[in-house]
Amino acid sequence: MKTTFLDFEQPIAELEAKIEELRYVQDDSAVDISEEIDRLKKKVQGLTKDIYAKLTPWQISQVARHPQRPYTLDYIEAMFTDFHELHGDRSYADDPSVVGGLARFNGQACMVLGHQKGRDVKERTLRNFGMPRPEGYRKALRLMHTAEKFKLPLLTFVDTPGAYPGIGAEERGQSEAIGHNLFAMAGLTVPIITTVIGEGGSGGALAIAMGDTVLMLQYSTYSVISPEGCASILWKSAEKAPEAAEILGITAPRLKTLGLIDKIVSEPQGGAHRDPAAAAQTLKKALAEALRHLADVPTEKLLKTRYERLMQYGKFEEQAA
C-alpha cells in the first residue's frame, strides 16, 4: 500500500517519490543507479529522524490519527492467537466501534477489548469512526465481567476520538454506559492493562482505560478534549487547535512527566504505520512485561493498589482555613 504522508512530512514524500522514479528508471536502464538510490534512502531516513525528533503536539495528534495507523484488530492479529470475537450487548445491538473477545497472549488465555476504526469509507462508516454508542460500552462491560468470571487478565486498546454525540446515544444512556464501566473497572478482580494506541479521546476513551498499568504508544495522544474542541470553546476558533494541543498536554512524554501514565512504548521511525509488524513486536514485549508484573499479585493487593492509584490522581494544595 502506498504511504499517505501528512502535511509536515512533505519533504519525506518528495524524496520517496524521487526514489520511486529512479527505481522505475533503473528497471530499463543500462546504467547502475542503485548507489544513488541507496544514498537517497539514507537521506530519507535522516530526514524522517529529524522531522520526527521535533514533532509538535499537534503534529503528533496527526500521526495518532493517521489513516494508515494500525488499529486494535491489527494489533490483535499481530500479537494474539486463538482470537474469538464476541459480539453484542445482549439488549440492543452490536456496536462495531468496539471489538473484543477471548484470545491467547503468548499462549496465556485472556480477554482483549478495544476501540476499532475503519480503514476505508465503508468500514469507517460501519465502525462509526471509532466513536462508540452506549451498546459498545455495554458490550465492553459484558466482556469485563466475563473476564472476571474466568479470572482472565483484561487487555484494552484505546483509539477513539470520543464517545459518539448522537441523539440515539443520548436516548440510550451514553453517560450511564460510560459511568458504569468506570464503576466496574474500579472493582474488577482481574488485572487490567491499557494501551493507548492512537487517539485517547476523553470519557469515551477512559470508559475502557482504567488500567493497573497504562501504556501509551510514542505517537498516541490522550486528552480530556480534542484540541479542536478545546480551541473552539476557549478561542472560539478550531484553527487554534495547534495551540490547544500544546497547552492541553496530550502527548505520551508529557503525560509520563505528569505521572499519569506508566510507560511509553516506542514506535518505528516515522510512526507505527511505517512498520506495523515492528510496532506490534515492541508493544508485545511491553505487554508481556506488564502482565508478568501483575500476574502473581493477589486480588486484594491488586484492588488496593488500583484504588490508591486512582485516589492519588489530582494536583492541589492544602491551605489551613
Partner 1 sequence: MSWLDKLLPPKIQRDGARSVKSMPEGLWVKCPSCETALFSTDLSNNAQVCPKCNHHLRINARERLDLLLDAEGRFEIGADVRPVDSLKFKDSKKYPDRLKEAAASTGETDALVVMQGAMNTLPVVAAAFEFDFMGGSMGSVVGERFARGVTTAIEQKLPFISITASGGARMQEGLLSLLQMAKTTAALQRLAERRLPYISVLTDPTMGGVSASFAFMGDVVIAEPGALIGFAGPRVIEQTVREKLPEGFQRAEFLMEKGAIDMIVDRRELKAKITRLLALMQALPADAFQAA
177-236 positions binding partner 1, by CB under 8 A: 178-180, 182-183, 185-187, 202-203, 206-207, 210, 222-225, 230, 233-235
Concatenated DSSP letters of 52-75: HHT--HHHHHHHHT-TTS--HHHH
Quick one: 7 or 319, whose CB is closer to partner 1? 319
Considering the rule CB under 8 A, would residue 317 count as an interface residue with partner 1?
Answer: yes
CA distance linking residue 252 with residue 319, whole number of Å? 32
Residue type, 145: H
Residue 4 Cβ vs partner 1, minimum distance, rounded to whole Å: 25
| Cell numbers linked to 303 | 484492588
Cα-based distances in Å from 82 to 40, 103, 280, 311: 42, 5, 17, 37
Contacts with partner 1 by CB under 8 A: the residue count is 55
Considering the rule CB under 8 A, would residue 313 count as an interface residue with partner 1?
Answer: yes
Q: Which residue has 469485563 as its cell numbers?
A: 144
Rule CB under 8 A: choose which of 15, 76, 241, 255 binds partner 1.
255
Considering the rule CB under 8 A, would residue 302 count as an interface residue with partner 1?
Answer: no
Burial of 298 (0-12, 13-18, 19+ CB in 10 A): exposed
Considering the rule CB under 8 A, would residue 84 count as an interface residue with partner 1?
Answer: no
Q: How far apart are the first and last CA of the chain?
A: 64
Choose one: 72-80, 89-97, 175-183, 271-279; the region binding partner 1 (CB under 8 A): 175-183
CB atoms under 10 Å from CB of 234, counted, come to: 13
Quick one: 184 or 278, whose CB is closer to partner 1? 184
Quick one: 281 or 305, whose CB is closer to partner 1? 305
Considering the rule CB under 8 A, would residue 250 count as an interface residue with partner 1?
Answer: yes
Quick one: 2 or 319, whose CB is closer to partner 1? 319
Residue 194 Cβ vs partner 1, minimum distance, rounded to whole Å: 11
108-147 positions binding partner 1, by CB under 8 A: none
CA distance linking residue 238 with residue 246, whole number of Å? 14
Considering the rule CB under 8 A, would residue 88 count as an interface residue with partner 1?
Answer: no
Considering the rule CB under 8 A, would residue 167 count as an interface residue with partner 1?
Answer: yes
CA distance linking residue 269 with residue 2, whole number of Å? 17
Considering the rule CB under 8 A, would residue 165 count as an interface residue with partner 1?
Answer: yes
Considering the rule CB under 8 A, would residue 248 count as an interface residue with partner 1?
Answer: yes
- Residue 139 · residue 89 · CB < 8 Å: yes
Quick one: 11 or 173, whose CB is closer to partner 1? 173
Choose one: 139-147, 166-174, 264-272, 281-289; the region binding partner 1 (CB under 8 A): 166-174
Concatenated DSSP letters of 237-304: -GGGHHHHHHHHT-BHHHHHHTTS-SEEEP--TT-GGG-HHHHHHHHHHHHHHHHHHHHT--HHHHHH
- Residue 165 · residue 123 · CB < 8 Å: no
Residue 154 Cβ vs partner 1, minimum distance, rounded to whole Å: 15
Q: Given the rule CB under 8 A, which residues bind partner 1?
A: 163-167, 169-176, 178-180, 182-183, 185-187, 202-203, 206-207, 210, 222-225, 230, 233-235, 244, 247-250, 255, 258, 260, 306-307, 310-311, 313-321
